Amino acid sequence: MQYRRLGKAGLKVSEFSFGAWVTFGKQVDVDAAAKLIGTAYDKGVNFFDNAEGYESGMAEQVMGDAIKKLGLRRDTYAVSTKVFWGGPGPLNRGLNRKHIFDACHAGMKRLGVDYLDLYFCHRPDLDTPIEETVRAMSDLVAHGKVMYWGTSEWTAQQLTEAYSVARQYNLAPPTMEQPQYNLFERQKVESDYVPLYDLMGLGTTIWSPLASGLLTGKYNDGIPADSRYNLPGYEWLKDGWGTERIQQRIEKVRKLATLASEIGMPIHHLALLWCIANPRVSTVILGASRHEQLVDNLGALGVRDRMTPEVLAQIEQIADNRPKPPQRYDD
């Protein structure tokens, strides 16, 4: 395992980290979570990702109980949670000062920690001034309850406003963003955020590196009964199933799988290694509903030297979706 700085921050996170979305509290109980976290940790994973909105707080509880069961030393791992979807009622959601503090305290309790390493605004909140959010996050940092705060799926404009407000009032600016990034979703990481990497020193903890499993090839011939797309409560994931857009993606998955087998790896290894080939990615958050998936995915690091510039160029040709970089006028 190699470690990367979280943007310009001093915190070094493992290139592969591990997250709880969908799985913890739904497909994975405390014993299974302890086995997953223990395996990841033994392989060098030092960051575990969560959110108050994952299974209504159950994912945080399961992760906290699993970490306690394993007896991990607090100074050997980093843990996150995210605030936005806390539950029903106007006070239990969004990025207002009250909910940011409530979710932080509740998350710490469920995770069994007395500070959060990373704390994310899970989405932008159009009903709260960004200044209120920045001030609340910055206060949590000042109080020692949060080490680094960040955002998830904010636009470059919203991030720029947060950064400017923090600079104007001498507050802590966001350190990291958590965007979706995989061979099908590239716009934010490869284009929108480009000016912010240097301006803010922005780090990225990227999610759904396998596009919820599509990039394993398991959906090539339809939706398997025991897959995420078939889980009650997650039906929305298969919105658009059968459309030309999904068909095109599956065609690309088939081509990428052929290329992967030519270089002696399964397609999901190729897809994960493609994510860490981007130096702007601080960490790739893995997801797994089963222990064998996690062991398999971590194994990708063993064949990383096969991702040569030639292979990356071939992937680019198949993906055929590189976003346009920000316009320069000096060429």
Ligand X SMILES: NC(=O)c1ccc[n+]([C@@H]2O[C@H](COP(=O)([O-])OP(=O)(O)OC[C@H]3O[C@@H](n4cnc5c(N)ncnc54)[C@H](OP(=O)(O)O)[C@@H]3O)[C@@H](O)[C@H]2O)c1
Q: Is 163 considered catalytic here?
A: no
Closest distance to ligand X from the beta carbon of 151 (Å): 9
Residue with tokens 């759904």: 208
Residues 6+ apart with CB under 8 A from 228: 22, 212, 213, 234, 237, 289
Beta carbons of 95 and 83 less than 8 angstroms apart: yes
Q: Is there binding between residue 23 and ligand X (CB under 6 A)? A: yes
Q: If binding is defined by CB under 6 A, does position 208 make contact with ligand X?
A: yes
Question: Which one of 54, 163, 193, 219 is the catalytic residue?
Answer: 54
Q: Which residue has the tokens 């996170």?
A: 13
C-beta neighbour count of 123 within 10 angstroms: 17
Which residue, 200 or 237, is less far from ligand X as judged by CB? 237
Q: Which is nearer to ligand X, 144 or 233 (CB)?
A: 233
Which stretches of 40-165 are assigned E, i.e. beta strand? 47-49, 78-83, 116-121, 146-151
**Contacting range for ligand X; rule: CB under 6 A; set: 132-140, 162-170, 285-293, 300-308:** 285-293
Taking a C-beta distance cutoff of 8 angstroms, is the pair 293, 269 a contact? no
Count interface residues toward ligand X (CB under 6 A).
29
Spatial separation of the C-alpha atoms in residues 181 and 187, rounded to whole Å: 8
Torsion of CA 15, 19, 22, 27, to 10 degrees: 110
**Residue 151 interacting with ligand X (CB under 6 A):** no
Q: Does 283 bind ligand X (CB under 6 A)?
A: no
Stretch that binds ligand X, among 33-41, 106-114, 157-165, 212-220 (CB under 6 A): 212-220
Please give, one letter per residue, the 3-state secondary structure of 243-296: CHHHHHHHHHHHHHHHHHHHCCCCHHHHHHHHHHCCCCCCEEEECCCCHHHHHH
Q: How far is the CB of 75 from ligand X (least distance, A)?
A: 22
The two tokens of residue 71 are 């007896």
- CA 260, CA 56: separation in Å to the nearest integer? 38
Residue 296 lies near ligand X (rule: CB under 6 A): yes
Burial of 244 (0-12, 13-18, 19+ CB in 10 A): exposed
Euclidean distance between CA atoms 69 and 195, whole angstroms:
43
Q: How far is the CB of 25 from ligand X (least distance, A)?
A: 12
**Does residue 228 belong to the site contacting ligand X (CB under 6 A)?**
yes
CB of 212 to ligand X, least distance (A): 5
Nearer to ligand X, 292 or 310 (CB): 292
Q: Which stretch binds ligand X (CB under 6 A): 37-45, 83-91, 283-291, 321-329?
A: 283-291
Instruction: Please tell me the distance from the alpha carbon of residue 149 to that of residue 138, in angstroms, as a whole number.
Output: 8
Task: Please give the residues from 164 up to 183 whose contact with ligand X meets the rule CB under 6 A.
Answer: 178
Question: Cβ 329 to ligand X, closest distance in Å?
Answer: 34
Pick one of 172, 211, 263, 312: the residue that binds ligand X (CB under 6 A): 211
Q: Which of 210, 265, 298, 315 binds ligand X (CB under 6 A)?
A: 210
Examine residue 209 and tell whether it contacts ligand X (CB under 6 A): yes
For residue 206, the cross-strand partners are: 284
86 binds ligand X (CB under 6 A): no
287 touches ligand X by CB under 6 A? yes
User: Candidates 62-70, 134-142, 210-218, 243-251 — which segment interacts with ligand X by CB under 6 A?
Assistant: 210-218
Would you please indicate which residues are annotated as catalytic (active-site) residues? 54
Binding footprint of ligand X on the chain (CB under 6 A): 19-23, 49, 152-153, 178, 207-213, 216, 218, 227-228, 268, 285-289, 293, 296-297
